[in-house]
Chains A and B, each alone.
Chain A
Amino acid sequence: MRRRWFFLGGIFLFLLGLWVLEAGPADLVPSESGRVAAGEFLSASLSPAFDFQNPEMRGGESRFFEKLGRALWLTLRYAVVAMSLALILGVIGGVLGSRAWWSRPTLFLQTLRIGVRLLATAVRSVHELMWALLFLSAIGTSPFAAVCAMALPYGGTLAKVFSELLDEGESSAAEVIRAAGGGGFVAFITGVFTRALPDLATYALYRLECAIRSSAVLGFVGIPTLGYEIKTAYEDGHYREIWTYLYALLLLVVFFEWWGARVRSLLTHGVPARRSAENVGGNIAPLATLWKARGRSWFLRASVAFLLLGVTAGWLVEDQWGAGVSWEQRMKNLDRFTDEIVPHPVREAGGDWGEFGVWFMERMTERGAEALWQTFHLGTAAILLAGLVALMGVRFAARSLVSSSPRGVREGPSLFRKVIAMLLRGGSMLGRAMPEYILAFLLLRIFGPTVWALILALAIHNGGILLRLGAEVIDNTVSQASSVILAQGGSRTAAYFGALLPLGFNRLVLFLFYRWESCIREATVLGMLGVASLGFLISDAKVAFYYDEMLLWVGLGAALVFFGDLTSDIVRHRLRGQAESR
């Protein structure tokens, strides 16, 4: 990767994006009323509510913390149940989409495998919020619709990533079993699947974290999770209540991040056996003693039990998955919806699809092409901003540069440096814990209806993720050159920019493209908050009950994400090759 061209290209794309989105620097300064609202909102963060702000609600049948607990429980429950469905889809799709499964690929099986992977990519290209809109429009509001809306894209994502992990996990272990006469299925299960299991579980846990955030966001389309409470509290002007909900969401996500990290570490590294028990009086201990001394983790066992219990409870506790609406009524709704998603000129012409072309071109030239262009630039400008912030932040957050002996060269401690690093790492954790959609919703209230709110929301969340990944890359980069620079009296900044960044550059760009794909995906829905882009057209069409247009915009968004996904895959594949060859 030619770094200079990459930087220049990035700056050009960022400025072009701001121009296309008409995001001027003046819009970054809130209006007078916006400043007052922002001040009130931010000062409420210091005194979150412990009771209803509305005095009429106090002393009623429902208590504030009951309401909070119910919203948290629903957020968690829908996430867990959706993930249980997504996991089934992910495992089936992941296995069928992996090269390792088809040991003797024929042309037909190759086509089938590629077909499964493309299907997984296509399903995940539609954002869960859009799936939710489609399901709610098709069959009405119900918990099952919410769960399916998350399970489908998450299943697609799991299938795509699982197939990649299974292919990476393929090793001579499977070949040894086949060579010893074992069947292909046995070789796959023991040599490939078992080997990849820690990575598969690790990724599934990460997706569970994401599902909790998504579940909260579904509240914005009427599902009674945390997002719903945040939205209604905002509409009522109850800022202190909002902060209580936000803190609860942060705690939930941070807890799951901590728990996931702990489980990940245990699965990847395992627990060593107690070596002291291996010998008794100079002799090897009996088998039973060795068995008792084997490495095992109660935390891991409890986690598995906790997850199984959570999934079972999540499914069983709900007695109204269909929200009490009869099957007949749902079928009627679905019939109406499937009728109305057919473009209206086609409907009026008695199903003649010859009319579709004119209708499609009209929609595209009127608003579609511009919205598509804006959505692309929204995602791209946001990720470039996030990348730039992370690139600078890594210098002050990477442990190997902050320590009193950076890169093994003694320099002496500095409290100031440690505090900055802690603040950056804490900010990064909060940024990535907060869903982009909720961040955008809150920032729009501060900045007013400007696209900057969306750019900043995407940049804060993704910047948090990139900062963490970037710091890990720099900490894991082996570089004698950086130590030499420091030992010769050079600064940490010189060691970072002069030695570490050039070495880790490809990996950092790889992560940037990985998040760019997610940014494009999120950008397609952020417009639903009222700022021009595809999301805006989607919510506009939904409000007007133009389901044919709504589906068109959803399809267009999916096509953009699909394009972003494939581009990102190709670039990352090339970059990974270059990074590994170094």
Chain B
Amino acid sequence: MLQFQSVGLSYGATRALDAVDLRIEPGEQVCLIGPSGAGKSSLLGLMNGRLSASDGAVCLNGEDLGRLSGKSLKEARAGIAWVPQDLGLVPNLRVNQNIACGRAARKGLLGILKSLLVMGKGEKEEIAALLRRVGIEEKIFSRVDHLSGGQQQRVAIARALYQNPHIILADEPVSAVDPERAKSLVGLLTSLAREEEKTLVMSLHDVSLARRYFDRVIGMREGQIVMDGRPDEIGLEDLYRLD
């Protein structure tokens, strides 16, 4: 369970988040919506400890992430996957090698080097099975920069799943694709997360996608939560509050 207790975050004089209280239960599918600069990325950055709160506490299963460091922080992070806006793939590596990087925390340096240079048959098969679920199994040994934008997004999703996390964080992963492809990718990620009972927190711009695929929608504006509820509870006046 993820819990925010009166969390504030400042970048110098700029207040990115202000007194945020939030509780996300295991297995929930949560969508963050709001205009640019509303604080969605900052909220996601606090969830996996990439950022430290200026005040308040961000707790993961009761443990304050801000107080963790070294090995305990790495262990906590190993259970949280992150799909950034630019996907964070290494373009000159093959798909299987990129996906293997999802387990960097568990493998360590030697394990990762082994996966990159001489990947074992078992690992290849495991990755192939995962790629089958995201629909690009035949691309397992292709270089990532030889794939289309949509296929690259699927690789990023597969890498997140390969990490076998409890929580998946996705920061506007479909901001640069057409509406049809965005629909199919958000649908894929939410269905995979549901199947495996993983918590999913995704930031989006598109309200219709948020309404269609998520259990819960959180609206943000100027660093504060201005709306939080089930998709069918979102009214027109709620959307006005976001602008």
A273 and B141 form a contact (CB under 8 A)? yes
Give chain A residues whose Cβ lies under 8 Å from the Cβ of B125: 287
Give chain A residues whose Cβ lies under 8 Å from the Cβ of B234: none
A180 and B84 form a contact (CB under 8 A)? no
A176 and B93 form a contact (CB under 8 A)? no
Q: B212 within 8 Å of A by Cβ?
A: no
CA distance in complex: A290, B76 (Å): 36
B103-141 CB mask vs A (1 if < 8 Å, else 0) is 011011100110010000000110010001000011111
A290 and B90 form a contact (CB under 8 A)? no
Partner of B92, one of A177, A270, A278, A284: A270
- Closest-by-CB residue of B relative to A191 is B90
Give chain A residues whose Cβ lies under 8 Å from the Cβ of B77: 178-181
CA distance in complex: A270, B165 (Å): 32
Give chain B residues whose Cβ lies under 8 Å from the Cβ of A181: 73-78, 104-105
CA distance in complex: A278, B163 (Å): 26
User: Are A180 and B105 CB-contacts (below 8 A) given A190-B112, A284-B137, A290-B138?
Assistant: yes
User: Are A175 and B84 CB-contacts (below 8 A) given A181-B78, A190-B90, A284-B137?
Assistant: yes
- Closest-by-CB residue of A relative to B115 is A190
CA distance in complex: A41, B127 (Å): 67
CA distance in complex: A270, B137 (Å): 20
CA distance in complex: A161, B74 (Å): 32
B88 and A183 form a contact (CB under 8 A)? no
Give chain B residues whose Cβ lies under 8 Å from the Cβ of A191: 88, 90, 101
Partner of A270, one of B108, B109, B145: B145
Interface size class of B (residues with CB under 8 A): 35 or more
Q: A329 within 8 Å of B by Cβ?
A: no
Give chain A residues whose Cβ lies under 8 Å from the Cβ of B94: 294
Of A177, A189, A195, chain B has the most CB atoms within 10 Å of the CB of A177
A180 and B116 form a contact (CB under 8 A)? no
Give chain B residues whose Cβ lies under 8 Å from the Cβ of A285: 138
Q: A265 within 8 Å of B by Cβ?
A: no
Give chain B residues whose Cβ lies under 8 Å from the Cβ of A287: 124-125, 128, 140
A173 and B89 form a contact (CB under 8 A)? yes
- Give the residues from 34 to 82 in chain B that come closer than 8 angstroms, CB to CB, to chain A: 48, 50, 73-78, 80-82
B88 and A175 form a contact (CB under 8 A)? yes
B104 and A187 form a contact (CB under 8 A)? yes
Q: A172 within 8 Å of B by Cβ?
A: yes
A171 and B88 form a contact (CB under 8 A)? yes
- Closest-by-CB residue of B relative to A286 is B128
Q: B86 within 8 Å of A by Cβ?
A: yes
Q: B91 within 8 Å of A by Cβ?
A: yes
CA distance in complex: A273, B147 (Å): 11
Partner of B113, one of A183, A189, A197, A279: A189
User: Are A179 and B48 CB-contacts (below 8 A) given A273-B146, A287-B128, A294-B141?
Assistant: yes
- Closest-by-CB residue of A relative to B75 is A181
A selection of 29 A-B contacts at a CB cut-off of 8 Å is A171-B90, A172-B84, A172-B86, A172-B88, A173-B89, A175-B84, A177-B101, A178-B77, A179-B80, A180-B82, A180-B104, A180-B105, A181-B77, A182-B101, A182-B105, A183-B74, A183-B109, A186-B112, A190-B116, A191-B101, A194-B92, A195-B91, A267-B92, A268-B92, A273-B141, A284-B132, A287-B140, A290-B141, A294-B141
A residues apposed to B, CB below 8 Å: 171-173, 175-183, 185-187, 189-191, 194-195, 197-198, 267-268, 270, 272-273, 278-279, 284-285, 287, 290-291, 293-295
